[in-house]
Chain A
């Protein structure tokens, strides 16, 4: 049993992070960065990671972190979702989760300090639970001695990364980003541009192999999926808030459009779904924090539910803003692209439902 409410400490952390994000990364600034071709905001990330300590929240103090937990990390993810801030939080968090399961401490310490950016070199769409731990973690990269050769496509947070954590040949490796070729791709979600990576006999340091590598891999993927659910909650919450404010002030037929039941009911139903998204996202973060045996179910459940809620909220945000919501000058499209991209990240809701069915012993036909 996990508690589903926010603690006072978590609310304090939220207030701190929100203040920074509203001040430094309003949507106009995000849009300007996209238009300028430099989406990632290194200065903002420095404040969040190095000054506030967001990157090392789940890392014990003895290993260089803040000694908080994944619940707190999820609160930060919610706030980042609300602001669609282009910072490498999700990539770093997966790296942290992997390293927590490995022996390494130096890299973990530097990540926690906000000194370095790292990410897991895996396509963002890779479904949670995919790849057998002891098998070929990444069939597209091969290990020869202490070098890696091959390609990984559509990787999250690779562009600002200093270090890549690469699954290959049954092991997890650490590769300096400078030793790989990283090419930006044109991404559906412009606030989180993806990149293709190729390795050509890139020097690599083995972090873990065999079963421990599998555990680190699972830890990283699970943490990523749980934080993504929190991010989706933040996206949905912000879309609802923006839309509610708009339908109160937009008048047609001599009345605020928010007084029409067709509009009110749509938003009320969205609010109901968001209250549920909050409960499942909190449950997942709580499970991850305590290592609850329900964590796999909780993570797939959170993804299956929150992904759809975020997409629906962003779509409703566009729809209920009418024409203005379809313009480049309005932030709705930033949320729509993030929400839809997030619904594919870590596997689609349908894949999560499939995975849940297996975990719950609800077999398919035949």
Chain B
């Protein structure tokens, strides 16, 4: 037997007897998956702040984890939505394989004609007996090509005002009529997809929340997305600023007086943003929900862009080179392992994905500061 055949055989064996999955299922059933979730759904009804206690003990023992980076859409968006708006039956059916990573989730919200103005989306869901037939085009769907399920927002009543005509579904991505195509981005690869839906049949049992309640349900999802993007506590000089500071320390040749004040300006901004994210974490742990999630997301987008641009210039000749323009399907984004050019280019999306910076400013101005709404259609 050749080495590659042996490897294939081993992989086949692993997929049938994955020790990690058995462990993760057991962890979920023991209520140690996410302790702030209800008993029976992977939790123990405890404060969210206690989760690190579990994580630390398990990490110290070398226990396998559920690769949270791979399943962020499920953990950060689908799960809170299912928990809040799903039926008991839906929670029991979806949350466990979502958390263990056996069933990947993606999000079918944005459309070519509905970005920031999400509520104007035109994907239609038409009732046929116990089912809905869904047709339309979705875009910017990360992990759609691997996902088993999608959270889907579709229009069920075109006659109603735009926010009132939407309904929220879980869509089986293996159903006939779902066509996933890679969407190549300016970094050269395809993290995202376009998803074409052609008369996709969704049972009414997979509707999440009431008919016409889709916008309210989606707001839960989007609030959680912003928290997920900025929330976890990290050490000083974590992320982009750490990469640049390391380069500065290791390479005396890059240092100029002007660049140093710029470096320090960015260092101060990054540390202030880090501490404010930590404060947000403390607020959430203390059960004080706030709009600070939007502030943290806004600040990190701006910072990542500024720091990555600075970092690229700092390296001079090296900054002129790129690692790989091949059209590929990258695994979960690991910024640190890529070139400065990739970091600079990928950071452009930070102020677009998960709510543009302009929309976040509107949200802060209207919901936090109570300023009047723009005139909207």
Residues of A within 8 A of B (CB): 3-5, 240, 244, 247-248, 255-256, 258-261, 263-265, 267-269, 271-272, 275-280, 282-283, 301, 304-305, 350, 353-354, 356-357, 360-366
A293 to chain B, nearest CB (A): 13
Instruction: Give bound CA distance, A360 to B273, whole Å.
Output: 18
Instruction: Give bound CA distance, A353 to B261, whole Å.
Output: 7
Binds A, one of B74-82, B262-270, B306-314, B322-330: B262-270
Asked whether A4 and B275 contact (CB < 8 A) given A244-B370, A267-B369, A365-B257, the answer is yes
Q: Please determine whether B248 and A362 come into contact, CB atoms closer than 8 angstroms.
A: yes
Q: Please determine whether A5 and B286 come into contact, CB atoms closer than 8 angstroms.
A: yes
B359-373 Cβ-contact flags toward A at 8 Å (1 or 0): 011101110111111
Q: Please determine whether A268 and B365 come into contact, CB atoms closer than 8 angstroms.
A: yes
In-complex Cβ contact of A271 among B257, B268, B273, B364 (8 A): B364
Asked whether A272 and B268 contact (CB < 8 A) given A256-B372, A264-B361, A365-B260, the answer is no
In-complex Cβ contact of A362 among B264, B370, B374 (8 A): B264
Contact residues in B for A255 (Cβ distance below 8 Å): 372, 375
Q: Please determine whether A269 and B361 come into contact, CB atoms closer than 8 angstroms.
A: yes
Asked whether A271 and B369 contact (CB < 8 A) given A5-B279, A261-B362, the answer is yes
Indicate if B256 sits at the interface (CB-CB under 8 A): yes
Asked whether A304 and B268 contact (CB < 8 A) given A282-B279, A361-B249, the answer is yes
Contact residues in A for B288 (Cβ distance below 8 Å): 5
B374 to chain A, nearest CB (A): 6
Contact residues in A for B374 (Cβ distance below 8 Å): 259-261
Instruction: Give bound CA distance, A178 to B288, whole Å.
Output: 52
Q: Please determine whether B365 and A4 come into contact, CB atoms closer than 8 angstroms.
A: no
Instruction: Give bound CA distance, A301 to B274, whole Å.
Output: 12
Contact residues in B for A272 (Cβ distance below 8 Å): 295, 298-299, 364
Q: Please determine whether B361 and A268 come into contact, CB atoms closer than 8 angstroms.
A: yes
Asked whether A360 and B267 contact (CB < 8 A) given A5-B286, A248-B371, A264-B362, the answer is yes
Instruction: Give bound CA distance, A272 to B301, whole Å.
Output: 12
Q: Please determine whether B261 and A4 come into contact, CB atoms closer than 8 angstroms.
A: no
Asked whether A4 and B282 contact (CB < 8 A) given A248-B370, A268-B365, A276-B272, the answer is yes
What are 27 contact pairs spanning A and B, CB under 8 A? A5-B282, A247-B371, A248-B370, A248-B372, A256-B372, A260-B374, A263-B371, A264-B366, A265-B361, A267-B371, A268-B364, A268-B368, A271-B364, A271-B369, A275-B292, A276-B275, A276-B295, A279-B276, A280-B272, A283-B275, A350-B261, A357-B263, A362-B263, A362-B264, A364-B255, A364-B260, A365-B256
Instruction: Give bound CA distance, A176 to B262, whole Å.
Output: 45
In-complex Cβ contact of B358 among A5, A265, A278, A280 (8 A): A265
Instruction: Give bound CA distance, A258 to B362, whole Å.
Output: 11
Max chain B C-beta neighbours (<10 A), residue from A255, A271, A354: A271
Asked whether A362 and B268 contact (CB < 8 A) given A259-B374, A267-B365, the answer is no
B148 to chain A, nearest CB (A): 37
7 interchain residue pairs of minimum CB distance: A264-B365, A353-B264, A279-B275, A268-B364, A279-B276, A259-B372, A4-B279
Instruction: Give bound CA distance, A5 to B285, whole Å.
Output: 11
B247 to chain A, nearest CB (A): 11
Kindly report which residue of chain B lies nearest to residue A244, judged by CB atoms. Answer: B369
Contact residues in B for A275 (Cβ distance below 8 Å): 276, 279, 292, 295
In-complex Cβ contact of A278 among B279, B298, B371 (8 A): B279
Q: Please determine whether B272 and A357 come into contact, CB atoms closer than 8 angstroms.
A: no
Q: Please determine whether A277 and B264 come into contact, CB atoms closer than 8 angstroms.
A: no
Contact residues in A for B283 (Cβ distance below 8 Å): 5
Instruction: Give bound CA distance, A247 to B370, whole Å.
Output: 11
Contact residues in A for B204 (Cβ distance below 8 Å): none
A52 to chain B, nearest CB (A): 27
Instruction: Give bound CA distance, A357 to B265, whole Å.
Output: 10
A351 to chain B, nearest CB (A): 11
Contact residues in B for A276 (Cβ distance below 8 Å): 272-273, 275-276, 295, 299
Kindly report which residue of chain B lies nearest to residue A283, judged by CB atoms. Answer: B275
Instruction: Give bound CA distance, A305 to B371, whole Å.
Output: 26
Kindly report which residue of chain B lies nearest to residue A354, judged by CB atoms. Answer: B264
Contact residues in A for B279 (Cβ distance below 8 Å): 4-5, 275, 278-279, 282
Indicate if B103 sits at the interface (CB-CB under 8 A): no
Q: Please determine whether B267 and A277 come into contact, CB atoms closer than 8 angstroms.
A: no
Indicate if B278 sits at the interface (CB-CB under 8 A): yes
A11 to chain B, nearest CB (A): 12
Max chain B C-beta neighbours (<10 A), residue from A255, A264, A282, A363: A264
Indicate if B50 sits at the interface (CB-CB under 8 A): no
Max chain A C-beta neighbours (<10 A), residue from B260, B268, B368, B370: B268
Instruction: Give bound CA distance, A279 to B265, whole Å.
Output: 17
Max chain B C-beta neighbours (<10 A), residue from A269, A279, A304, A362: A279
Asked whether A268 and B369 contact (CB < 8 A) given A276-B275, A360-B267, A364-B255, the answer is yes
Instruction: Give bound CA distance, A283 to B265, whole Å.
Output: 19
In-complex Cβ contact of B267 among A263, A362, A365 (8 A): A362
Contact residues in A for B268 (Cβ distance below 8 Å): 301, 304-305, 353, 356
Contact residues in B for A268 (Cβ distance below 8 Å): 298, 360-362, 364-365, 368-369
Max chain B C-beta neighbours (<10 A), residue from A244, A256, A260, A268: A268
Indicate if B245 sits at the interface (CB-CB under 8 A): yes
Asked whether A271 and B362 contact (CB < 8 A) given A5-B279, A353-B268, A357-B264, the answer is no
In-complex Cβ contact of B271 among A244, A261, A301, A366 (8 A): A301
In-complex Cβ contact of A265 among B252, B265, B365 (8 A): B365
Q: Please determine whether A259 and B271 come into contact, CB atoms closer than 8 angstroms.
A: no
Q: Please determine whether B271 and A280 come into contact, CB atoms closer than 8 angstroms.
A: yes
Seed contacts A272-B299, A278-B279, A280-B276; 13 additional CB < 8 Å A-B pairs: A4-B275, A5-B283, A265-B358, A265-B365, A267-B369, A267-B371, A271-B368, A275-B292, A280-B272, A304-B264, A361-B249, A362-B264, A366-B255
In-complex Cβ contact of B278 among A4, A265, A363 (8 A): A4
Instruction: Give bound CA distance, A350 to B263, whole Å.
Output: 12
Contact residues in A for B375 (Cβ distance below 8 Å): 255, 259
Q: Please determine whether A244 and B282 come into contact, CB atoms closer than 8 angstroms.
A: no
Contact residues in A for B252 (Cβ distance below 8 Å): 363, 365
Kindly report which residue of chain B lies nearest to residue A272, judged by CB atoms. Answer: B295
Contact residues in A for B273 (Cβ distance below 8 Å): 276
Q: Please determine whether A301 and B282 come into contact, CB atoms closer than 8 angstroms.
A: no
A292 to chain B, nearest CB (A): 13
Asked whether A264 and B371 contact (CB < 8 A) given A275-B292, A275-B295, A280-B271, the answer is yes
Max chain B C-beta neighbours (<10 A), residue from A4, A240, A265, A276: A276
Instruction: Give bound CA distance, A355 to B83, whole Å.
Output: 49
Instruction: Give bound CA distance, A3 to B286, whole Å.
Output: 11
